Amino acid sequence: MVQKTLRNTLLKGILAVLLSMAINPLHAQETTLRLAVTSDVHGAFFPYDFLRDEPTGSSLSSLKSFADSIREIPGSNLILLDNGDLIQGTPASYYANFVQKSKTSMIARVMNYLEYDAATVGNHDIEAGPEVYYHLQKEFTFPWLGANIIEESTGIPAFLPYTIVERNGIRVAVLGLITPGVPGWLPRVLWPGLQFDEMVSSARQWVSHIREQEKPDVIIGLLHTGMGQEEMPADGSFAENAGQIIARQVPGIDVIFLGHDHRPVTETIQRGDGSKVQVVNPGSGARNVGYVELKLTTAGQQTWKVVERSGKVIPLGTMGQSKAYNRKFRKEVRAIKAFANKPVGRLQAPLVAGESLFGNSAFTDLIHRAQLDITGAQVSFTAPLTTSQDIEAGDLLTRDLFTLYRYENFLYLMELTGKEIKGFLEHSYGLWFNQMKNTDDHLLNFRKDKDGNLIRNNGRPSLAEASFNFDSAAGIRYIVDVSKPAGERITIQGFENGDPFDEAKTYKVAINSYRGSGGGGHLTEGAGIPHDQLENRIIYTSGTDIRSLLMDYLKKEGNLYPKAGTNWSVVPSDWAEKGRKKGQAEGF
């Protein structure tokens, strides 16, 4: 009798549990989803600095160690992502894109080995050209995303807009978007038949579509853009860095990974409706990995719900290197070293990059002279693409050309009037130099807070603009008066060969494709040329990038005797000299 009663009690208990599970089959389940992201790797695939020809502490080798350690956790549910600007910036990426002989891209072999789940296309990935990025798109074993990269002929995305990744029954949607400024930075030959839609409206459209059609448990925004401001620009233009706008104004996204501006960020943003989104930017160069943990539960409901979120940026240098990774790609490292150390010519004097910030320098003037000779232009514009990496006298090697010229820009020959040339320079030096009131002022234009104090980063003041926007000119003689406000500083005295300069005449100008496409605003805001008319001014486009042109040019020159030109100067000269010393004392 007792046994029968006990049996009936057990049966009733089991029936109650089964009934409860039938009503809610995911009763009180909990799990953790782990997300890791790299961004703006810029060719830092291996633990070796091919520019300095020495080992380095951070690379995707350390990411392999990190990912392996997470995957060893039982039920790790790791999703590994990359946020763009992967394939440009170093001898390694250049070698993979344009030199290597193997059928499968080295970059694809690296990324596939690391078992990425998805990646977003970055603007510098487009810089490699369609032959490279469409080839990689096919070779990656994960989707390369770009919801707002649209085929003009069909109106549909040229890359997958999003992908669904499943972990332990959890459906995770990963939406990829790219900053839409590509047409203003790169020549059309690098993005034929494409358009780049504005990010915020694209995010709204695709998040709505994903929620309705896919019904995911989690949505991740893998956005190649920086944090930026809280609102769209007042002039109606697109936001280059739209991360904060999307985080605040597009509900439904649980995690946003950022990139593009190379600034590490970890922040939880609460929207007006009370919902939260975790925002993380890992920074650049494979120095860090962005890491997010999401706690999910099904308690009292049929689907998973995020109940806790946390994010951080983890230095990869602390992870150690993967021996297995290094062994697998040691042949590639040897091949890149051999490529990077090929001699190009011989420098009889050093090229000191920092001098380019304060006036004429041998560093930028070498580029100027090459551009003038290659194109036959009357005027050349160029800017220092680094201000901290010098090139020593002696053998000039292929890797030194990546210091001299970092980007895969093409070379344009454009027609500009004298007035437009002056406007271009006014814009450049307005970005570059501070208006000095006396000898106590800084020459360089630094960022300031609302009280006029310098904004510092690790004790060093931050330039108000990137130095790649500090264009000087060669071929003409001119003066920059820093006692005057921006827009009123330039006096062009004539050409270097003695010919007069006329603002009403049209001249041939050598300029890189980034600037010639409108990058930096020098031609649109400074010279006043409407963006849609810039292409009409181009009368020559090089068939290859400027770095390759420089390589061929310098090989022909052989022995090089670089020296700073004397075609422009800053006045008042005593103010400029003291301003220079103040800048150098600050570490510039």
Segment holding 300, helix H or strand E: none
What lies within 8 Å, CB to CB, of 414 at 6+ separation is: 508, 509, 511, 516, 537, 538, 539
Residue 57 confidence (pLDDT): 87
Summarize pLDDT for 511-535 with one digit per residue, the tens.
999 999 999 999 999 999 999 999 9
- Cβ neighbourhood burial of 371 (10 Å; 0-12, 13-18, 19+): buried
In the numeric block, the tokens 């922040």 are attached to 267
Summarize pLDDT for 395-438 with one digit per residue, the tens.
999 999 999 998 889 999 999 999 999 999 999 999 999 999 99
Q: Where does the pLDDT of residue 11 fall: very low under 50, low under 70, confident under 90, or very high at 90 and above?
A: very low
Examine the domain organization and report whether 552 and 536 are in the same domain. yes
Cα 95 from chain centre = 19
Segment holding 219, helix H or strand E: strand 218-224
Residue 237 confidence (pLDDT): 82
In the numeric block, the tokens 């290859």 are attached to 544
Examine the domain organization and report whether 331 and 347 are in the same domain. no
Summarize pLDDT for 553-565 with one digit per residue, the tens.
999 988 999 999 9
How many other CB atoms sit within 10 Å of the CB of residue 506?
A: 14
Buried b (16+ CB within 10 A) or exposed e, 188-202: eebbeebebbbbbeb
Domain end residue (candidates: 317, 336, 355): 336
Q: Provide the whole-model pTM.
A: 0.87
Q: Where does the pLDDT of residue 17 fall: very low under 50, low under 70, confident under 90, or very high at 90 and above?
A: very low
- Region of residue 279 (phi > 0: left; psi between -120 and 50: alpha; otherwise: beta): beta
Residue 389 Cα distances to 4, 51, 90, 356, 463, angstroms: 86, 10, 14, 11, 17
- Strands 490-495 and 218-224, sheet pairing: unpaired
16 is a domain residue: no
Residue 549 CA to residue 535 CA, distance in Å, equals: 22
Summarize pLDDT for 84-140 with one digit per residue, the tens.
999 998 999 999 999 998 889 999 999 999 999 999 999 999 999 999 999 999 999
For residue 572, cis peptide bond before it (omega within 30 degrees of 0): yes
- Cβ neighbourhood burial of 559 (10 Å; 0-12, 13-18, 19+): exposed
* Mean pLDDT along residues 487-498: 97
Residue 26 confidence (pLDDT): 42
Residue 2 confidence (pLDDT): 37
* Mean pLDDT along residues 224-242: 88
- Split into its structural domains, the chain has a count of 2
- Residue 18 pLDDT > 50: no
Examine the domain organization and report whether 373 and 313 are in the same domain. no
DSSP 476-521: EEEEEETTSPTTS-EEEEEETTS----TTSEEEEEEEHHHHTTGGG
Residue 13 confidence (pLDDT): 44
Residue type for position 142:
F
Examine the domain organization and report whether 350 and 296 are in the same domain. no
Examine the domain organization and report whether 381 and 460 are in the same domain. yes
155 is a domain residue: yes
14 is a domain residue: no
Residue 379 CA to residue 511 CA, distance in Å, equals: 9
- Cβ neighbourhood burial of 64 (10 Å; 0-12, 13-18, 19+): buried
22 is a domain residue: no
Examine the domain organization and report whether 327 and 429 are in the same domain. no
Residue 27 confidence (pLDDT): 57
- Residue 53 pLDDT > 90: yes
5 is a domain residue: no
CATH number of the domain enclosing 456: 3.90.780.10
- Strands 276-281 and 255-257, sheet pairing: parallel
Residue 428 CA to residue 433 CA, distance in Å, equals: 9
Examine the domain organization and report whether 331 and 354 are in the same domain. no
Q: Which of 403, 357, 385, 391 is nearest to 584 (CA)?
A: 357
2 is a domain residue: no
Domain end residue (candidates: 336, 358, 376): 336
Examine the domain organization and report whether 182 and 313 are in the same domain. yes
Residue 30 CA to residue 296 CA, distance in Å, equals: 6
- Region of residue 553 (phi > 0: left; psi between -120 and 50: alpha; otherwise: beta): alpha
* Mean pLDDT along residues 312-316: 97
Residue 582 confidence (pLDDT): 94
How many other CB atoms sit within 10 Å of the CB of residue 276?
A: 13
Q: Which domain holds residue 362?
A: 343-585
314 is a domain residue: yes
Buried b (16+ CB within 10 A) or exposed e, 244-274: bbbbebbbbbbbbbbbbbbebbbbebeeeee
* Residue 240 DSSP symbol: S
Examine the domain organization and report whether 378 and 517 are in the same domain. yes
Domain end residue (candidates: 320, 336, 352): 336
Structure tokens at 335: 């091949």
Summarize pLDDT for 354-391 with one digit per residue, the tens.
999 999 999 999 999 999 999 999 999 999 999 988 99
Buried b (16+ CB within 10 A) or exposed e, 142-159: bbbbbbbbbeeeeeebbb
Examine the domain organization and report whether 128 and 168 are in the same domain. yes
148 is a domain residue: yes
Residue 35 CA to residue 58 CA, distance in Å, equals: 20
Examine the domain organization and report whether 365 and 497 are in the same domain. yes
Residue 5 confidence (pLDDT): 44
CATH number of the domain enclosing 71: 3.60.21.10
Q: Where does the pLDDT of residue 495 fall: very low under 50, low under 70, confident under 90, or very high at 90 and above?
A: very high
- Residue 1 pLDDT > 80: no
Summarize pLDDT for 159-214 with one digit per residue, the tens.
999 999 999 999 999 999 999 999 989 999 999 999 999 999 999 999 999 999 99
Examine the domain organization and report whether 214 and 136 are in the same domain. yes
Structure tokens at 413: 């020959």
- Cβ neighbourhood burial of 109 (10 Å; 0-12, 13-18, 19+): middle
